[in-house]
Amino acid sequence: MVNWFEWNKVEPEVGAAVDWTVAEDPDIRSAFTAALPEWYRFAAERDECGEPLS
């Protein structure tokens, strides 16, 4: 299982914010999903689990 989170958060290991998001930008999302194997499922819509990132 691969679990990818759409999160822009501070990582203590580097002492700075790291932007882990791939679905926010349409160009990055397209490149990311195009590189996935055909059997891999990528949700078309994200589930609402909190406030959106600003």
CA distance 21 to 33: 13
Give bridge partners of residue 19 from the DSSP assignment: 8
pLDDT per residue of the chain (54 residues) written in tens, 0 to 9: 667 778 889 999 999 999 888 878 889 888 888 888 888 766 666 666 655 555
Question: Structure pTM?
Answer: 0.46
